[in-house]
Each structure stands twice: as C-alpha cells, then as structure tokens.
Amino acid sequence: MRLLTLLLLAAACGSSAQEADGIIKRLAEAQKQNDSLAGEYTYVEQTAHFTYDKAGHPNKDSTETHDIIFVEGMSYRKLTARNGEPLKRSEAEKEEKKLQQTAEERRKQRHAGLFHATVSTASDEDLLALFDNRLLGEEEIRGRKAWVIESTPRSGHAPANDHEKQVLSFRKKLWIDEADNVRAKTLDTVIGEHLFLKPGSTVTWEYGKIDGAAWLPVAGVLDAHLQFAKFIKPYIRTEYANSQFQKFDVKSTITMEPPK
C-alpha cells in the first residue's frame, strides 16, 4: 500500500512538473511580446524606505519620487522629489548632470556596438534549464485567475558561471495570468550566499495590465538584510508604487546632444 502511494505521488509530481514547464514555455513567448509593449511606457515611481526597531516595527525613514523615462533608448530613473518635496536647486542640477553623463555613456556604448539592455538575473529560459518547477494550483491576482508555480534550483546542478551563481541563489514563486500568459506577480526568496542580500530576503512584484495592452510593474516590496563585505546593515524594507503610466514612443527617446 505504501509503495502504491509513493508511486501515485511520484506520478502526480511528474505531471505537475510537466504542466509547470509547459506554462513557463508559453510565458517565455508571451513575455517577449509584452516586454516590447511595456517598453513604450513611462511612469512615476514612488519609493518608501523603512528600517525596523528592536521590537520589529517598521519606521518610515524617507520617500523618493522618480520619473521612469527613456534616455538613449533605455529606461532611466530620474529623481524628482524627496519626502514629498521637489529637489533643491543644487541636487536638481546634480541629477540633470547625472542624466547627461548617462546619456553620453550610453551613446558611446551604442556607437561602439556595446549598447544593450540589461539582462534579467533569472530569465524564463533559466527557469526551464536550471530549476525544478512545480504547479501549485491557481489563485486570483487583482481579479484575474493566475497559475501558481514554485521554482527551486535543480538539485545537484553546479553553477557554471557567475550568472548561474546569482540565479541559483533564489527560490522563486510565480503567478502567471491564465488569459495572457504573462507574470501577474513574482516572489523571489534568497537562499544562497552569492548576493549582497542575505538568505531570507524577499523581493515581491505585482503587475497590472495598462491600457488593456501591456503588463507593467505596479507595486513592489523588498524585505532584506543587506551585506557588503563583513558589514551587515539593519533589516530594511522598501515599498514601490508605480502610477501615471503614459505611452511614449521609445524611438523618440530623450537624446542629449554631445558637448561641443
């Protein structure tokens, strides 16, 4: 009887893994199309920074506002306010100088053939190649049905490079919209030692469908211990809220004239 139960469980797990991999394959294709649409939107990002007291209660330390725009064809976070107040003139000038320097660097990279978007630390292809994926069921996210998949680093796989070391430092949970086959929510939990985030740290993102077309990040939370060398900072929390999405022709990106 026990053997039969184990065989049934193994068969169920195998079926769950196959279903999960099938969903992720559809996700990979749909996400490419969505990313192209999402790259046409600018928005405003509100960030709130918290630290925890000895009793474990979060205290808000500061807030920041960024405009997420395009500079030389790539997304750029431009700081516009602190704690609800516009930047002082000196800091605003520094931000403008920083933007111009970034534009110049990106322009040089493009002319040298090195200009490219940054790569995600865990692509959908990585999930299929490096992780064991399991379908947990379905849940509702923002009123829409989503598949829930848990992805854990494949047992016995030795990282082949620094990219794999980073990727395999996470256990992942994905909520994939059943109708559009794109990410509706993600939860990344640090389980490895190869990051500046200590094990147990989590990163959560929720996505919303904008203008009935593109899915973009609308809310996020970072709960983490940060470690740099041997210095460990206190436990922190950062909350993100994105709004004021506007479609923008990425081909008409902000371009800085090179200095004469």
What structural domains does the chain harbor? 5-70+121-252 (2.50.20)
Mean pLDDT across 145-152: 97
119 Cα distance to chain centroid? 11
What CA–CA distance (Å, rounded) separates 102 from 246? 23
pLDDT in tens, 72-89: 878 899 999 999 999 999
Q: What is the pLDDT of residue 230?
A: 58
- Mean pLDDT over all residues of the chain? 85
Q: What is the largest CA-CA distance in the chain?
A: 82
Label residue 232 by pLDDT band (50, 70, 90): low
Question: Both tokens of residue 18?
Answer: 């196959």
Segments in the chain forming alpha helices (H)? 2-38, 89-111, 124-130, 162-167
Tell whether the model's pLDDT for residue 252 goes beyond 90: no
Distance (Å, whole) CA 177 – CA 154: 25
Residue 15: what pLDDT? 67
Backbone dihedral region of 84: left (phi > 0), alpha (psi from -120 to 50 degrees) or beta?
left
Name which of 33-47, 58-72, 133-147, 193-207 the model is least confident about.
193-207
